[in-house]
Structure 1
Amino acid sequence: MRIFLCLAAPLLSLGLLSSAAAHERAWTVPAETGVVGVERAQLDPAWWVARQAEPDRVILDARAIAAQNAKLMQLDRSMHDLDALPATLERTRVAAWVDGISKRPTRALYDVQGQPVAASDLDAIVANANASAIPASQPTRFGLVVHRADLRAFPTRTRMFSSNDDHDIDRFQESALFPGDPVAIVHESRDGLWWFVVNTRYAAWIEKQYVAEGRAEEVLGYGRRTPFRIVTGARATTVYTPEEPRVSELQLDMGVRVPVLADWPMGEPVNGQHAYTAHVIQLPVRDDDGRLAFAPALLPRREPTSDAPLALTSRHLIEQGFKFLGERYGWGHSYNARDCSGFVSEIYRSMGVQLPRNTSDQAVSPALNRIAFNEKDGRDKRMAVVRGLQVGDLVYIPGHVMMVIGEVDGEPYVIHDTTGLSFAGADGRTMRAKTNGVTVSPLTPLLFNGTQTFVDRITNIQRIRP
């Protein structure tokens, strides 16, 4: 199994801050927040927007974004072009997808009670992946996701942890998919309850109950339908309807795009309710036989949506990030939340910008405007770049990504989804704030370990701008 998502702040050793990690300024820890350099006023997005000289200047217009998305699909090997899949899939290709994620773990794992997982139990989970049953060739099948659903390293809900006192970082949790996400269905688990699917940004296991199989043209065409609404809040929810439970109170996360039934007859009820207070949208549903169908649903006008992606501006980057402020950190989109790479992806998705799923691929994507660092790059070189960071820049350290929201007295500040922050206290010793959620902080005082700062460990900076 690949471990890729951000453990945003590793467990850090206590100790004096060495001269190698000396700060360019003195930092304080305000009592009202308990986080270095962060005053309560700075938890308001308007505070950061007001500091921008041109908050509404468009960074990339729709045409430039479309060109960048096309470049991403063409150049980034972590992406999967579902439209380009052949009509028949060979075993070699499918096995590479399955084996790439469902490798038998070699290190000790623990269950939710903190007990070591028996080898026999792990063998059964691995066997359920049914890799030996992948046929020599098979027709390419497609489906639409009908409900937010986990993507797993193995076809099991069983949660696994690296230590007996960790109950947050499930090592089998990979990501999540959302209503309307298209997938190629390429393999089935031995117990018949799971499908291995390939989405544009990821390949892993999903429970079959959350995918409806359909024809390629209806699956791949769903996300291109117009007119549409795109979710611009952290989430939106369809109305409750007992007449059609499959679309009742359905959660749609930031960036989810759904087609609008603009020709719905005025006055005709939708699932027993007049539609004038809502948008009539069309959602994919799964029939009893697992086949794809579509159903109308009401998306209340009070819900945060737009008829087009938001303009890519500093204002929107800041405001979209702050809509998740305080949401609990969710490794691999667990806890109905998201992790650091999912967090920045969904901010940008609300503006029509596609990013790879995980930090390791985002950080090195050849489709973006990348600044790379290596271990030979000293602090002076790093700080020269850091001082020039702009709103929306993505800063990567091993296993973590942060988005820049502005600067205060020349010091860059970031918003990020993190398990916690470590920094030097007034006495020079390391302090830790277990934020465990979407957090605002300055960049330069953050500690990666007892002797290095985050700045010392920056691997890449990606810029979604010219």
Structure 2
Amino acid sequence: MTKTPVSIVCALVLGCTLGAGHSVAQPSNYAPFVSDVPLVQQPMLNPEFWLQRQSDSKPLMSQSQIQAFNRSLINNNPYIIDPLAMPDTLSAKALRSYISNTSSTPSSPRFYVDGKQLDRADFARYHANTNIDAVTDSNPVRFGLIVERTSLRTFPTADRVLNSEMDADLDRFQETGAFPAEPVAVLHESADGQWYLVAAYNYTAWVKRSAVAVGDKNRIRTFTQADDFIVVTGDKVETTYVPNEPRVSEVQLDMGVRLPLAPKEQVKHLTHGQNSFASYIVTLPVRNDDGTLSFAQGLIPRSADVHLGYLPLTAQHLIAQGFKFLGERYGWGHDYNARDCTGFVGEIYKAFGVWMPRNSSWQGKTDYGYNWRFDKDSTEAQKREAIAQMQVGDLIYIPGHVMMYIGSYQGQPYVIHDVKGLGYIKQNGEFYDGELNGVSVTPLLPLHLNSTTSYLERTYAIKRIAQGAEQ
């Protein structure tokens, strides 16, 4: 997701089927399959179709290499930080810069969902709630943990605001999401007292105060660095229902959330009135009535899609993780309890312990990993040569969008991505304008942004998540 999205469309020049003699064998019990997506047949929507084409199960990076990879990002990438390494105070200049960079008035018109255009008074009200006038010469920084899935916003408001295209799916005040157990630096408080300006590991924006528990920085770091932990490997799992402690009951945990296991000496036969032998007992951050941080035990069924420690970073696991989101609705900036293109790849890689910058341009235009870069002078042949060298999990970037490579079939490279629009050139030369609006499997080379410009033409980078330098 970037602030200025492109219309994500695709085009097929030669037709919309695999052609006679080239269809994929389908079991007789398959339900009828109706699709307007070119070159995709039903078996391709099963991860096994792609997994059976993988033979190398060797990890792409070890956990020690991933840790070094993340440290390098913190030290060298401008879009990744350790929020717990923030200073204990900010100068007036620094805090004002954080506020103004987060909450700037857009240069183009904005509209409410009912069609009313925002005027100067509306933006003045939003700016006033940023509480910038309360900034002093020295401003204390507090630290906290996110206690529930929540949104990070441009301004301290939940108002939905659209651009002139009036696409209700694209709330322009929605920046990204934050998830339980994520550490944040609390930089400032809104004038109405309902919002915090927080710096997370890959974004700074406004979050509802009720979603953050503020506590001791050292205690938070100990929590985030626990040796024994589980990682959520499903698209979403929930903690077990607890009737008398709502703070740990049915808490949604998205892919990549990491939670410490309760210390062995604290494990008992009964937890919240339930025998815990069939569950993982985890430590959850909870918010007290006064906003301070506490920790409480929660239960996650052993049947849930979680993993002890991070998943090994292999091609097979990358495919499996990506397909767990297949069919999820597109959610701009983690809206709709979902995610967008960069949220999609970010959550996949978090399951392996890999950190990623938030926006597609921040990922595609910075130099971590192995990178193939293209400019206006790059030829189609050069890009095709790079595409031919892709490995499962490689990321392909066009302006405003990112896709993950999952393998090739009959010479066509395929990607899985969280994508909004669908379009292609039909055999009669007409442009088909449709919608995907969710996590989808598509071929790469036939995709077009419009009737004249292909994805291949606009590809500016291919990135492999690995330790290394520029290709």
TM-score with structure 2 setting the length? 0.92
Q: Quick check: 45-54 or 154-163, which moved more?
A: 45-54
Secondary structure of 2:155's aligned partner: coil
What is the match of residue 48 of structure 1?
50
Structure 1 residue 5: deviation in Å? Answer: 5.1
Within a 5 Å distance, the mapping from 1:28-107 to structure 2 comes to 28-29=16-17, 32-54=34-56, 56-107=57-108
What is the match of residue 448 of structure 2?
447
1:5–1:359 CA contact under 8 A, matched in 2: no
Q: Write the deviation string for residues 298-332 of structure 1: whole angstroms up to 9, x where unpaired.
A: 11111111111111111100010000000000000
Question: Residue type matched to 2:5 in 1?
Answer: L
1:129–1:189 CA contact under 8 A, matched in 2: yes
Q: Does residue 1:179 correspond to 2:177, yes or no?
A: no
1:418–1:437 CA contact under 8 A, matched in 2: yes
Structure 1 residue 10: deviation in Å? Answer: 4.3
Within a 5 Å distance, the mapping from 1:92-241 to structure 2 comes to 92-163=93-164, 165-241=166-242
CA distance in 1, matches of 2:6, 2:119: 29
Secondary structure of 1:420's aligned partner: strand
Q: Quick check: 192-201 or 128-137, which moved more?
A: 128-137
Structure 1 residue 164: deviation in Å? Answer: 6.0
Structure 1 residue 86: deviation in Å? Answer: 2.2
Structure 1 residue 51: deviation in Å? Answer: 1.2
CA distance in 2, matches of 1:443, 1:228: 37
CA distance in 1, matches of 2:373, 2:407: 21
Question: Residue type matched to 1:172 in 2?
Answer: F
CA distance in 2, matches of 1:419, 1:297: 36
CA distance in 1, matches of 2:192, 2:135: 14
1:114–1:163 CA contact under 8 A, matched in 2: no
1:6–1:339 CA contact under 8 A, matched in 2: no
What is the match of residue 258 of structure 1?
259
CA distance in 2, matches of 1:231, 1:8: 31
Q: Write the deviation string for residues 103-155 of structure 1: whole angstroms up to 9, x where unpaired.
A: 01232111111222233222211211122222211222101110011000000
Question: Residue type matched to 1:205 in 2?
Answer: W
What is the match of residue 331 of structure 1?
332
Q: Write the deviation string for residues 388-425 of structure 1: whole angstroms up to 9, x where unpaired.
A: 22210100000000000001122210000010222221
Q: How many residues align?
A: 453
Calculate the aligned-residue CA RMSD, in Å.
1.8
Structure 1 residue 235: deviation in Å? Answer: 1.1
CA distance in 2, matches of 1:8, 1:40: 28
Aligned sequence identity (%): 40
Runs of 5+ unmatched residues, structure 2: 19-32
Structure 1 residue 459: deviation in Å? Answer: 1.2
1:32–1:39 CA contact under 8 A, matched in 2: no
Secondary structure of 1:121's aligned partner: helix
* Residue 454 to residue 217, structure 1, CA distance change in 2 (3 Å): same
2:413–2:444 CA contact under 8 A, matched in 1: yes
Structure 1 residue 57: deviation in Å? Answer: 1.9
Question: Residue type matched to 1:7 in 2?
Answer: P
Secondary structure of 2:270's aligned partner: coil
CA distance in 1, matches of 2:3, 2:120: 25
* Residue 349 to residue 266, structure 1, CA distance change in 2 (3 Å): closer
CA distance in 2, matches of 1:199, 1:235: 21
Runs of 5+ unmatched residues, structure 1: none
CA distance in 1, matches of 2:267, 2:179: 29
CA distance in 2, matches of 1:275, 1:6: 48
CA distance in 2, matches of 1:295, 1:265: 11
* Residue 266 to residue 214, structure 1, CA distance change in 2 (3 Å): closer
